[in-house]
Amino acid sequence: MPIKVQSGLPAKAILESEFIFIMDEERAMTQDIRPLQIAILNLMPNKEETETHLLRALSNTPLQLEVTFLAMESRVSKHTAVEHLNKFYKSYREVKEQRFDGLIVTGAPVELMEFEDVDYWQELCNIFEWSKTNVTSTLHICWGAQAGLYYHYGVKKYELPKKISGVYRHHVNDRRIAMLRGFDDYFNAPHSRYTENKKDEIAAVPELEVLAESDEAGVFLVMGQEGKQFFMTGHPEYDRYTLNNEYQRDLGKGINPEIPANYYKNDNPEEKPIFSWRSCANTIYSNWLNYYVYQKTPFDWC
């Protein structure tokens, strides 16, 4: 799929080296079609890495996308250059009068904090409220999923006895749901988090449905309002070495983390990680774009 991004975005060169079709603004202007307008609210500290992960995951469909990256005004990024943010990102204030076919809300390393104590919580609440009327379908990831479940439905998060980190086996609950079309009965996906949502509390909300879960890692994918919202607690967009980089980072901090589960060959961090979730990432993002964004958005929506 051609993804339209701004010329000069660092992720563009990386993805082109992987033979992923990335289209710059000049070429896109010559095509007489309306691309899907996708906003990505990037709450991660290393924004450039997350940009690459998500653009790669969105690339496996013939649909054309135009991506707008959003960053919080109420949070000063310490890990991404101001020049990068000024060139490639917009604020909610700049786009709040626009409509988007899809919105992705990423995770953030604040999950051990109470939601209301996060310095950009009110701004995020404004975006969640705006998404009800200005976005066809929103995909929330990890902490973004927990925040969305809490804001929209009052579903709480709970601290785990220890961090869930690794690649876990999941099972599909209802393959008739279009979001799960093409999935096997069981599939792998990475998790990296300190908190969880409880299935019984989600199941108690009539508008929510748990689509996939893991015996070890718990709830993985939740659908809200028949596809208006999705909440995904894992990270299928992660690349082969993301969990390894997190593990090495925590070692360097003296945290003494556990080795990510089901990740390294022979559970040996000196071995190359086994990439066993690419098909999950390709399928889940393609299904979301096709069945819940493209199929449901009006042509003149934006």
Residues identified as active-site: 142, 235, 237
SS3 88: helix
CA distance between the termini of the chain: 20
Surface-to-core class of residue 59, CB atoms within 10 Å of its CB (0-12 exposed, 13-18 middle, 19+ buried): buried
CB burial readout 104-113, b (16+ within 10 A) else e: bbbbbebbee
C-alpha 196/C-alpha 111 separation (Å) is 10
DSSP 96-138: TTS-EEEEEE---S-TTS-GGGSTTHHHHHHHHHHHHHHEEEE
Strand partners, 159: 195
C-alpha 40/C-alpha 112 separation (Å) is 23
C-alpha 202/C-alpha 85 separation (Å) is 36
CB 3 within 8 A of CB 23: yes
C-alpha 73/C-alpha 53 separation (Å) is 23
Angle subtended at Cα 121 by Cα 117 and Cα 122, rounded to the nearest 5 degrees: 120
